[in-house]
Chain A
Amino acid sequence: MDAINARRFGSRRFPALGAGLGRVLLPRLLQAGLVAWLVGTLTFVLTRTLPGDMAYRIAAGRYGHDMVDGAAAEAVRTELALDQPALLAYLSWLGDLLRLDLGRSLVSGAPVIEELGHLLGHSLGLAAVALLLSLLLGPPLGLAAGLRPGGALDRVSEAVASLLRALPPFALGLLLILLFSVSLGWLPAAGHGRSAHFVLPALTLALALAAVSSRVARHAMVEVSGSAYYAFSRTKGLGERLSFLRHGLRNVALPIVAYLGVQFVTLIEGVVVVETLFAWPGIGHALVHAIVARDLPMIQGTALLMGLLFVALNTGVDLFCHGLDPRRRQP
């Protein structure tokens, strides 16, 4: 890799890929620990302070609203020791967390870690397909638009992007179902299990993501193509294609990749809505249900996972930028 870099970018050697990696990873590791503790503590405090009797909520989550009465609530309270002091419950949770034990769901009785594993697979699958789709749609369109700023493509793509970004994912999803399932009958409206089920929820998420990434790519392209080094590459006789590949692509990629980090928030947020709309059994869906049922271990586990996922994804973005941008590897 270094040899290739050296050949392509001139004679000066770039710092090795591993250089300065510790500076990226160490703070992130600390951050992960802090996020785990903060998220867990916050969910604990918030769930405890939610109005209403937890025992009734959990009983309703387990046995259904029609079966809830004082006796069922008392049975739940005794079984789960809900009347123990909050501090004691908190400390025992913290102890379990240190032993990497997330406990059992209060509703289903299954270990939280097992449930999360199952749910996370579904969510990550959906998010990955959505991200891939958005990368195929957004940046190429943005680059094409950025090469001719103010052109027809640029203006049309800006209008479409604004419209898509303004539509809440819920409405966008409904429109897609109406178009592709009800009117055209090409795709299943909701559900999961077959690959065709991926298309509509992933597209709903991807369109919102692509709307933003196409604009970011467009602005980056405009900036790069207007820069002195880009102009120089043309002056020294490189064709449009070669200039773009050698001097444009890597520079344009940086803001797009860096912006991905921000987009993950949209993705994680969107997953909650989209999963509910498309009956997708993922982690966002589970979080909503766990909160309704006051399933504390499940809320903590889900929120923890989402928090850590966010840190992990951002670390991934950092590492990718670290690889792309040799300046970051300078000692």
Chain B
Amino acid sequence: MPSPRRLLAGLALATTLISPPLLAESRPLAVVAPWEITGSDPATSGYIFGRMGIAETLVEVDAEGRLTPGLASDWVVDGAGLSWRFELRDGVVFHDGTPLTAEAAADSLRHAWAKPGMLDSAPITAIEVDGDAVVISLEAPFAPLPALLTHSTTQILAPAAYADGGRVEAMIATGPYRLTELAPPQRLSAERFADYWDAAPAIEAVSYLAVGRGETRALMAESGDADIVFTLDPASRGRLARDEGLALHAEPLPRTIVLKVNAGHPFLAEEAARRALSQAIDRRGIAAGLLRDPEAAAPELFPASLGPWHLGLDGEAGGDPTSARASLEALGWQANDRGVLERDGTPFRLTLTTFADRPELPLVATALQDQWRELGIDLEVAVSNASAIPSGHRDGSLELGLAARNYGLVPDPLGTVLEDFGGDPAQPGGDWGAMHWSDAEVSAWLDTLRQDADPELGEELAGRVAARLNRAMPVIPVAWYQQTAAVNAELEGFSIDPLERSYRLEALTWTQ
């Protein structure tokens, strides 16, 4: 009877003899992330196909967040700003071998336009074909249109991908990787596409697995089952950092935890009151203690990845209940014998509505409750459903709402900012943005931004809007989300895209 150790050694030897040595290039790459695959439709799972390099859009984004040509080689807008012409790139073929034509591109966009998605926010009247170009006609000028066409819901698919009624039957696109297997809700595999129009990626085969549990994802990184693991739970991060076979990466995302404020509420109508509330929040404490990352503290709405919208404020600021209390006292609030602020006999009592779909939100809400208690504010936290905030916005019953808002759905946050802070002057604000708050200048600046495509003016106005929002606080920023990843140390060229459009797989190589 051979000893267990010898048996094992024999087994190990046998497996090395049986399996052929893997060349660096043909070594497959396994990506693990929490997001499940709903199906082939870009409207629901396009972001996964985009990130994995399977599907592409007319317009792409470079590492600095600037728009670059994608499947469209060039685009122009007419003088009135009402007609955009996107010239298609030559020599692009779909994964089924058919060529990319203007008809196919226009068809894909029309399907995307018919479903809820990014194109909703633009005043589009028609999507037509003119020669080798797609022409998008608008009702009113809309400068951020090219930015919308970077969104995964506007991916360009082959005509054969669609069934009757615009249902997507198969994911047939143009990316550097071609889908070889799709097993919703969890797995897909893809291989290098030989006829790709641009430089071929170095790694031949890639796979994606959706794993819902953070603990499992971390263990998969440790055991080597996964080469890239996204979204690490705070508890596992320390352990993974000590693993020499892994490299840890983190990058702030343009998704911000915000406090939506009902500026029509008598306690919250004054700008100074909203600023005092913001001043009393210890963002560092929340970021370090609850989100386990001090860099997550958000002194302003837009993180650095949003370029001109980012003001560069100091994350250390805030957490100053003394000056906050002084500002409130100046507004007529006095502490009563129980330490609660009162004005004209009414106590400073508010309800903060939040929801548990993002598990950190109720935690942050209770931290705010505690921090404001020191200020003398009696805050009640109502953990409800995500729909409670929009419905409270509509019927006017919402006082404060804590939610996460993604300003980086496309590289230009203007669409989201318009939705949240612009819109109809009679009913300004949006479901996840301002409530009963309007500012004539902000509206005018946003209007100019919407109509004028001049980049220099755009950058200046973006900065002005951000500064005004930061002063008037129609929503109060609390923290930014961080994307984290654990990556096999034998992989080279890894970086996180803060806009989460791409996993940048084409830049990766195996060092051994």
Q: Which of B116, B187, B210, B219 sits near A181, CB closer than 8 Å?
A: B219
CB contacts (< 8 Å) of A21 on chain B: these are: none
Q: Which of A175-200 contact B (CB under 8 A)?
A: 177-178, 181-182, 185, 188-193
**Please, how many angstroms separate the alpha-carbon atoms of A181 and B225 in the complex?**
8
Contact partner of B117 (CB less than 8 A), chosen from A63, A109, A110, A286, is A63
Q: How many of chain A's residues have a CB under 8 angstroms from any CB in B? A: 48
- Whether, in the assembled complex, A206 has its beta carbon less than 8 Å from a beta carbon of chain B, the answer is no
Q: What are 23 A-B contacts defined by CB distance under 8 Å? A: A51-B385, A52-B384, A53-B387, A56-B387, A60-B386, A63-B44, A63-B116, A69-B430, A70-B390, A70-B394, A72-B120, A76-B116, A108-B44, A109-B39, A109-B167, A181-B222, A189-B219, A189-B223, A191-B211, A193-B183, A277-B216, A279-B186, A281-B186
CB B260 to nearest CB in A, in angstroms, measures: 13
Residue of A with least CB distance to B185: A281
CA distance A178 to B385 in the complex (A): 36
- CB within 8 Å: A-B pair count: 132
Is A57 at the interface (CB under 8 A from chain B)? yes
A107 pairs with B38, CB closer than 8 A:
yes
- Please state if B219 and A67 are interface contacts (CB–CB under 8 Å): no
Distance A53 CA – B184 CA, assembled complex (angstroms)? 26
Please give, as numbers and ranges, the residues of chain A lying within 8 Å of B430 by CB-CB distance. Answer: 69
Partner of A63, one of B43, B223, B224, B432: B43
Contact call A278/B185, Cβ cutoff below 8 A: no
Smallest Cβ distance from B419 to chain A, in angstroms?
A: 7
Q: With an 8 A cutoff between CB atoms, is B215 at the interface?
A: yes
Q: Measured between alpha carbons, how far is A66 from B413 in the docked complex, in Å?
A: 13
**Which partner residue on chain B sits nearest A281 by CB separation?**
B186
A52-B384, A67-B117 are known; give 16 further A-B pairs, CB within 8 A: A51-B384, A61-B38, A62-B116, A63-B116, A65-B386, A65-B404, A68-B386, A72-B120, A109-B39, A178-B219, A190-B211, A190-B225, A193-B183, A193-B187, A277-B216, A281-B186
A174 within 8 A of B: yes
| Other-chain contact of B209, A62, A73, A191 (Cβ < 8 Å) | A191
> Do A276 and B213 contact each other (CB < 8 Å), given the known contacts A52-B385, A63-B43, A281-B185?
yes
Residues of B contacting A191 in the complex (Cβ-Cβ under 8 angstroms): 187, 209, 211, 220, 225
**Chain B interface residue count, Cβ-Cβ cutoff 8 angstroms:** 48
Tell me if A64 is interfacial: C-beta within 8 Å of chain B. Answer: yes
Q: Which of B187, B225, B406 has the most CB of A within 10 A?
A: B225
Cα–Cα, bound, A285→B384 (Å): 24
**Contact call B357/A286, Cβ cutoff below 8 A:** no
Contacts of A68 in B (CB 8 A): 386
Determine the distance from Cα of A61 to Cα of B44 in the docked complex, in whole angstroms.
Answer: 9
B116 and A52 within 8 A (CB): no
A212 within 8 A of partner (CB): no
The distance in angstroms between the C-alpha atoms of A177 and B386, with both chains bound, is: 35
A54, B399: Cα distance in complex, Å:
23
Cα distance, A59 to B219, chains bound together (Å): 32
Residue on A with the closest CB to B388?
A: A52
The closest CB in chain B to the CB of A110 belongs to B39
Q: CB-CB < 8 A to B404: which residues of A?
A: 65
Residue of B nearest to A51 (CB): B385
B95 within 8 Å of A (CB atoms): no
Shortest CB–CB separation between residue B474 and chain A, in angstroms?
17
* Shortest distance between the CB of B351 and any CB in chain A (Å): 16
Most chain A beta carbons < 10 A, residue from B43, B210, B213, B394: B213
Q: Which A residues are CB-close (under 8 A) to B41?
A: 109
- B355-386 to A contact mask, C-beta < 8 Å, 1/0: 00110000000000000000000000000111
Contact B210 A189 (CB under 8 A): no
A61 proximity list for chain B (CB < 8 A): 38
Question: Which residues on B sit within 8 Å (CB–CB) of A285?
Answer: 185, 212
